Chains A and B, each alone.
Chain A
Amino acid sequence: NAGVTQTPKFRVLKTGQSMTLLCAQDMNHEYMYWYRQDPGMGLRLIHYSVGEGTTAKGEVPDGYNVSRLKKQNFLLGLESAAPSQTSVYFCASSYPTGTLRTYEQYFGPGTRLTVT
């Protein structure tokens, strides 16, 4: 059981380039989330999905797009990278089953992205 995995682990982009970050989970979770983590700002939600084929905007969605074509995968795309998107990106998943721990989100190891 790998849990939540993210690829790549590190990436350097030039301004204007595009890329896709891949998140995969093998826990059969319904909900998936993309966050960015910046110093002193905690984790901020970019986009999320409550099921296959559905996506919704989070707190900081501008400049990002997402897709959830398969239940186990959640893709985050940057169409035209900007230096302000330099950050560490985390994917998370959860499965609501009616108990306290079901709000628990399981996080991947993160992707460190630098945009020059």
Chain B
Amino acid sequence: QQQVKQSPQSLIVQKGGISIINCAYENTAFDYFPWYQQFPGKGPALLIAIRPDVSEKKEGRFTISFNKSAKQFSLHIMDSQPGDSATYFCAASAGYSSASKIIFGSGTRLSIRP
């Protein structure tokens, strides 16, 4: 059972464009929604995270939009740069009640064309 569904599987965006990755979840007990970024040959690293009591979280060029009623959230990368080329994972956690376990989406391979 895939608790966090992510799309698209791959994405190509021109430099300077907006990259958008979407995710949907099923478990209403989730209370923490992080995005992880992974470069080839490296482990994932936290990029940005949001709790469901806010609809948007912005850090620099990265923004999470959250729709609690639709159980969907998305990552927007503004002014996309070649250095943003990586695999992005959305995720969800029910926090301390679940030993802070994280359920990951299947990943999106993002390529930014110069």
Q: Chain A: residues with CB nearer than 8 A to chain B?
A: 4, 31, 33, 40-45, 48, 50, 56, 58, 90, 92, 94, 96, 100-105, 107-110
B104 and A58 within 8 A (CB) = no
A105 — which chain B residues lie within 8 A by C-beta? 46, 100, 102
A101 to B107, CA, bound (A): 21
Q: Which residues of A contact B25 (CB under 8 A)?
A: none
- CB within 8 Å for A43 and B49 given contacts A33-B101, A103-B32: no
Max chain A C-beta neighbours (<10 A), residue from B99, B102, B106? B99
- Beta-carbon contacts under 8 Å, B12-70 to A: 32, 34, 41-46, 49, 51
B95 interface hit (Cβ, 8 Å): yes
Q: Which residues of B contact A40 (CB under 8 A)?
A: 9, 106-107
Question: Are A101 and B42 closer than 8 Å at their CB atoms?
Answer: no
- Chain B residues closer than 8 Å to A41, beta-carbon distance: 106
| Docked-complex contact A4 and B43, CB < 8 angstroms | yes
Residues of B within 8 A of A42 (CB): 6, 89, 104-107
Chain B residues in 8 Å Cβ range of A102: 100
Q: Whole-angstrom distance between the alpha carbons of A103 and B46 in the complex?
A: 10
Chain B residues in 8 Å Cβ range of A45 = 101-102
Q: Pick the residue among B34, B42, B101 that contacts A104 (CB under 8 A).
A: B34
Q: How far is the CA of A43 from the CA of B44 in the complex (A)?
A: 10
Alpha-carbon distance A92/B41, docked complex (angstroms): 15
Complex Cα distance, B44 from A107, in Å, reads: 6
Q: Which residues of A contact B49 (CB under 8 A)?
A: 100-101, 103-104
Q: Is the CB of B106 within 8 A of A104?
A: no
Contact between A103 and B9 (Cβ–Cβ < 8 Å)? Answer: no
Of all A-B residue pairs in the complex, the 6 with the closest CB atoms, nearest first, are: A107-B43, A42-B104, A42-B106, A43-B104, A104-B46, A103-B32
A115 to chain B, nearest CB (A): 20
Tell me how far the C-beta of B88 lies from the nearest C-beta in chain A, rounded to whole angstroms: 11
Given A4-B43, A96-B100, the answer on whether A103 and B105 have CB atoms closer than 8 Å is: no
Complex CA–CA separation, A116 to B52 (angstroms): 45
5 A-B pairs whose Cβ atoms sit less than 8 Å apart in the complex? A33-B101, A41-B106, A42-B106, A45-B101, A105-B102
